[in-house]
């Protein structure tokens, strides 16, 4: 196979990255044509798309006037396109979407087949819509722009987190499917938002520069707010959501999804699926930190008395300043161990998420079942020593996987990693009696996607720059 195709993109546009970085996508050199376009997706840059797609009434392909496509150079790469040109907008959106897909096809150990492939075998990527939002749907991902607190117009096609989040929805629908419209639940919608946020977070951690900046920014202490936990960061002071949160299920227990798709919030705060998602997102982020701390202890990078996993949350919060100083001192001496621990934690969380996607039944989806699939994956990976910590993370949030938790330990810790993909799926499914229910009528997918509002929606800016 030919080497991959080079692009330039911003790992975190709002976090001080003054110039885009070169990345190599999995697409073989020469396989990406003008647009850019490959077998999975294509970019098209409208001259003036004033309205977002609105399935099923307004859907791809875009038929209006378009700008010139981004084209590869003589060597088949796209990394020489000037960043202030219209072509860069299309190339950057394509690169972000394809990079996120590369990451999750790696964890899933197979190519993703779009749920809409019969009608739309490729995803159309639109970088410039006159709209303060971004969305995915059957056969498309499109991005608008928003005005930040300083009055600057910030296009979402430059925001890797936002694009990876939308790709997360596309991957989840394709891997898990959707229940019939009349069986859609609030927890199904909230799961989609939580996992799409975590799809973006894990994908961002596949940039070496993000890993390095994260550890330097935090002195190796992931308990502080950082550029990874601030999902969809728009500026140094603004973000759409925060993965590191303290929301529990009891805090959102009064939220209700009505049959017509509206949310009832007795507090009058207009909360919705994004807010209901926060306990699950927080629990998964807590698990990431637990795995990271475990790696630091095993590598001797921190002493046992600095391991906060057994502390009560109140104790951690009361000692944050001391813990941060101690972490900084250790990080200065054991930076490689901190980095290796974070990479290991990232990959374990990614693997757990992938197996949730492969084995979850959308017809009876609940946070409890999501947590159970997470914990079962740890056992299958030979990481049973982490089960209690994961269980505590979920239980503190009010998510209880114990009634639906059942898994078989492999005969050896390395067995699971050596198994072919099909055998992994067979073994995991056999422990739960899961059936494959990924097929559903297109209307069910569209109905579910229409019930997923975006917190970053507001009035459209008067002008969206490319």
* Count of other CB atoms within 10 angstroms of residue 324: 16
pLDDT recorded at residue 412:
45
pLDDT recorded at residue 398:
96
pLDDT along the chain (466 residues), means of 10: 85 69 94 97 96 92 97 96 95 98 95 91 96 92 87 88 94 91 89 93 92 88 65 42 77 91 90 91 91 92 74 65 80 94 96 92 93 89 85 93 70 52 54 46 78 50 31
Q: Which helix (H) or strand (E) holds 130?
A: none
pLDDT recorded at residue 242:
60
pLDDT recorded at residue 234:
39
pLDDT recorded at residue 439:
46
Strand partners, 23: 7
In this structure, what token pair is assigned to residue 98?
């394809």
For residue 250, the 8-state DSSP code is G
pLDDT recorded at residue 319:
65
What whole-number distance in Å separates Cα of residue 397 and Cα of residue 249?
Answer: 6
452's CB contacts (< 8 A; 6+ apart) are 169, 189, 192, 193, 273
* Cα dihedral value 364, 365, 366, 369, nearest 10: 90
Torsion angles phi and psi, residue 264, rounded to 5: -105, 120
What whole-number distance in Å separates Cα of residue 253 and Cα of residue 380?
Answer: 32
Burial 12-34 (b: 16+ CB within 10 A, else e): bbbbebeebeebebbbebebbee
Q: What is the pTM of this model?
A: 0.87
341 CB-side CA count, 13 A: 25
């Amino acid at each position: 196979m030919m080497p991959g195709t080079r692009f330039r993109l911003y790992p975190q546009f709002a976090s001080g990255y003054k110039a885009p970085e070169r990345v190599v996508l999995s697409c073989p050199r020469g396989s990406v044509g003008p647009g850019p376009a490959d077998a999975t997706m294509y970019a098209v840059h409208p001259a003036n798309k004033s309205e977002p797609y609105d399935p099923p009434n307004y859907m791809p392909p875009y038929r209006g006037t378009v700008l010139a496509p981004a084209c590869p150079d003589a060597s088949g790469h796209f990394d020489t396109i000037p960043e202030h040109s219209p072509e860069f907008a299309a190339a950057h959106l394509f690169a972000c979407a394809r990079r996120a897909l590369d990451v999750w096809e790696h964890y899933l150990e197979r190519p993703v087949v779009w749920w809409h492939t019969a009608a739309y075998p490729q995803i159309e990527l639109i970088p410039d819509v006159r709209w303060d939002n971004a969305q995915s749907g059957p056969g498309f991902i499109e991005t608008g722009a928003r005005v930040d607190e300083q009055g600057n117009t910030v296009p979402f096609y430059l925001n890797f987190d936002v694009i990876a989040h939308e790709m997360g929805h596309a991957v989840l629908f394709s891997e898990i499917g959707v229940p019939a419209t009349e069986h859609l639940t609030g927890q199904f919608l909230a799961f989609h938002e939580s996992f799409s946020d975590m799809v973006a977070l894990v994908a961002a951690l596949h940039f070496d520069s993000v890993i390095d900046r994260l550890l330097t920014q935090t002195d190796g202490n992931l308990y502080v707010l950082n550029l990874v936990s601030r999902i969809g960061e728009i500026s140094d002071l603004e973000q759409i959501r925060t993965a590191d949160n303290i929301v529990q299920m009891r805090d959102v227990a009064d939220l209700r999804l009505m049959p017509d798709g509206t949310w009832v919030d007795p507090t009058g705060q207009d909360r919705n699926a994004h807010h209901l998602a926060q306990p699950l997102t927080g629990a998964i982020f807590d698990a990431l930190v637990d795995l990271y701390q475990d790696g630091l202890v095993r590598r001797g990078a921190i002493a046992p008395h600095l391991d906060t996993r057994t502390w009560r949350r109140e104790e951690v919060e009361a000692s944050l300043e001391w813990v941060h100083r101690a972490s900084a001192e250790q990080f200065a001496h054991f930076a490689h161990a901190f980095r290796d621990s974070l990479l290991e934690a990232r990959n374990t969380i990614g693997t757990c998420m992938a197996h949730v996607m492969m084995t979850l039944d959308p017809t009876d989806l609940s946070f409890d079942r999501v947590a159970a699939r997470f914990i079962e994956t740890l056992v299958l990976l030979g990481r049973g020593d982490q089960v209690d910590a994961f269980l505590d993370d979920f239980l503190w949030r009010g998510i209880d996987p114990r009634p639906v938790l059942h898994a078989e330990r492999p005969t050896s810790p390395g067995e699971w990693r050596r198994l072919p993909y099909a055998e992994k799926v067979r073994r995991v499914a056999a422990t739960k009696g899961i059936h494959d229910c990924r097929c559903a009528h297109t209307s069910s997918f569209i109905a579910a996607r229409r019930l997923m509002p975006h917190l970053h929606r507001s009035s459209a800016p008067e002008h969206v720059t490319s």
